[in-house]
Structure 1
Amino acid sequence: MLEELFEGRLKSGDRIDLDEVCEALGVSRLPVREAIVMLERDGIVSTKYHRGVYVEPFDAESIMDDFEIMGVLSGIALRRLTDKRDSETIAALQRLVDELRSADPEDGERVFELVQQIITLEHRAGGSRRLRAELRSYQGFLPQAFRVGAGRNHADTVRAHDLVVRAIAEGDGEQAARHRLEDFRDAGERVVRELERRGVLSGA
């Protein structure tokens, strides 16, 4: 459903036909209902009693909120990771950034995979059980959103993650958190610009 939102096949106010979703995915209603619960928790859809499931407003402000929240939560994990001074994790992050630097910029899937590995390792090493659960709630949203705004220069992607890992290695958790929030804000702005260009957003 997130893919359909980002591609404009679902729009704000649309009613979601659960039977059609089940048929398209070849699954029973149970996993679809579980997905709806998660999307409703994240404010993407709402269930109206005796009327069905509807897409909530999908607008620039909501998307920027998502990226801001992810950036703030990620920053908390980065501060905690920095405080741990875990040399093995820092070395692993530095290796991943080096891999990202040497990756073929034209291989978008590989670049995205490395970015996910870096962020996942940071969150796993620095996040509490509760914090990791909150960050995982964006696992469906994040890949779709980042692919929409994937037009970023490769050198800028490398620089964004290098700045975070350097700050962690230097023991400056506040700086690492600031870099991450700036990076996620930039990503959100790129996603909004692309979705506005496609005419997908509410009011666009």
Structure 2
Amino acid sequence: MPPTRTVKLAKASNAVVDYILEEIFEGRLRGGQRVDLVEVGDTLGLSRSPVREGLVMLERDGIVSIRPHRGVFVEPFDAESVLDDFEVIGLLSGVAVSRLASRRDPAVVAELEHLIAELKAAGSTARIGELVQQIFRTQHRAGGSRRLRAELRAFAGFVPWVFRFESGMTSEEIIREQEEVLAAIVAGDSEAAARHRAAHFRAAGERVVAALGARGIL
């Protein structure tokens, strides 16, 4: 069977991660269900090696479990686990922005101000999502240690999915959230920066859970 998607080999394992997350968030894969490695490989046009690499990444993130001689299974996917994911991301990201606020590096602040200016001028939901991810990457790179950056990268696949379920959030609200964190960084208020970021991710998690529930996925 010819593959239904074309994937660059350099990004093969990441494509597997994104594909499995899509299947879960769209309700085609449920908690406890077995993942068919052959089907994933056929769909993406990949060999078993990158498919397994992607699944190992997902197991590290608690999305699937690999059971010897039995197969790969989706871990429980319920409201509590989804909320926990967003709670943890918010707390980890909060550490990074807290450190940024204590340092107030003018170059990083200028870069963030430029990105928020682009965010205000963005004309599409897709572009807004790209810019918010870039803002996060900038903050995490500048405020995170090697270990913290690695932990945050483990959740990178979730962020794009937020914007697929954020239909109830306006661009003005998204901009306001980013401006709140930046204002705290500029003011040198580490506590406020961390508090805002944690609250934003907590609220995002609640919106995603509500959207998934309305779709009958949770």
For each residue in 1:122-141, what CA deviation from the matched residue of structure 2 results, as whole angstroms up to 9, or x when unmatched? 01110011110110111112
Q: How does 1:193-204 map to 2 (within 5 A)?
A: 193-201=210-218
Task: Name 1:85's counterpart in structure 2.
Answer: 104
Q: Distance in 2 between matches of 1:199 and 1:38?
A: 27
Q: Would the alpha carbon gap of residues 134 and 169 (structure 1) be closer, same or farther in structure 2, given more than 3 Å must change? A: same
Aligned pair partner of 1:156 in 164, 168, 173: 173
Partner SS for 2:46: coil
Task: Name 1:166's counterpart in structure 2.
Answer: 183
Task: Name 2:140's counterpart in structure 1.
Answer: 123
What TM-score, normalized by structure 2, do the two folds share?
0.88
What TM-score, normalized by structure 1, do the two folds share?
0.94
Displaced runs of 4+ in structure 1, greater than 3 A? none
Q: Distance in 2 between matches of 1:149 and 1:156?
A: 11
Task: Name 1:46's counterpart in structure 2.
Answer: 65
Q: Distance in 2 between matches of 1:86 and 1:156?
A: 26
Task: Tell me the amino acid that sits aligned with residue 131 of structure 2.
Answer: L
Q: Distance in 1 between matches of 2:190 and 2:64?
A: 35
Q: How does 1:5-44 map to 2 (within 5 A)?
A: 5-44=24-63
Q: Distance in 2 between matches of 1:197 and 1:155?
A: 24
1:142 aligns with 2:159: yes
1:182 aligns with 2:199: yes
Task: Name 2:120's counterpart in structure 1.
Answer: 101
Q: Distance in 2 between matches of 1:43 and 1:138?
A: 10
Unaligned runs of 5+ in 1: none
* Larger relative contact order, structure 1 or 2 (CA cutoff 8 Å, min sep 6): 1
Quote the sequence identity (%): 57
Q: Distance in 2 between matches of 1:131 and 1:200?
A: 31
Q: CA deviation at 1:150?
A: 4.1
Q: Distance in 1 between matches of 2:74 and 2:145?
A: 32
Task: Tell me the amino acid that sits aligned with residue 42 of structure 2.
Answer: E
Contact in 1 for aligned 2:90/2:197 (Cα 8 Å): yes
Q: Distance in 1 between matches of 2:163 and 2:132?
A: 10
Contact in 2 for aligned 1:146/1:191 (Cα 8 Å): no
Unaligned runs of 5+ in 2: 1-19
Q: Distance in 1 between matches of 2:105 and 2:214?
A: 43
Contact in 1 for aligned 2:79/2:209 (Cα 8 Å): yes
Q: Distance in 1 between matches of 2:127 and 2:58?
A: 28
Task: Tell me the amino acid that sits aligned with residue 165 of structure 1.
Answer: L
1:56 aligns with 2:75: yes
